[in-house]
Amino acid sequence: MNSDLARAVIVPVLVLSLGGCATNAVTEKPGDLKFGDANRQTMMAQVIDPDPVYTQPAQSSGAHAADAVERYRTDKVKQPDSVRTTTNTASPPQSN
């Protein structure tokens, strides 16, 4: 067996056998604590205060709620006021 043929056989076998030593945290450690961190962080960012403390009881009116339900049923819902949160402050192009 010449050296080129031996090299052509031995090198791929060594590469494949070393590939078996590679680690993958997702498949080897399904209970890995880092798995799912992005989802948990996003969920926590959406929760402002999970246990709020109020100084006064919530105010509500059954009459207002009944009126709103009646408007909904008769398709006469009040349209909300339009609110602009930004203003157009673009400057005209300047000539040189």
Is residue 25 within 8 Å of residue 32, measured between CB atoms?
Answer: yes
86 within some domain: no
- The boundaries of the domain holding residue 10 are 1-48
Look at residue 74 in the predicted model and tell me its pLDDT: 95
Note the pLDDT tens digit of each residue in 56-74: 888 889 999 999 999 999 9
Note the pLDDT tens digit of each residue in 3-58: 777 777 787 777 777 666 666 555 555 566 677 788 888 888 888 777 888 898 88
Residues 6+ apart with CB under 8 A from 51: none
Cα–Cα distance between 28 and 35 in angstroms, integer? 12
- The pair of three-digit structure tokens given for residue 52, joined into one six-digit string: 């709020």
Look at residue 90 in the predicted model and tell me its pLDDT: 64
27 within some domain: yes
Cα–Cα distance between 89 and 43 in angstroms, integer? 35
| Main-chain phi, psi angles of 75, to 5 degrees | 60, 40
Look at residue 16 in the predicted model and tell me its pLDDT: 73
21 within some domain: yes
Look at residue 7 in the predicted model and tell me its pLDDT: 79
Domain count, the chain: 1
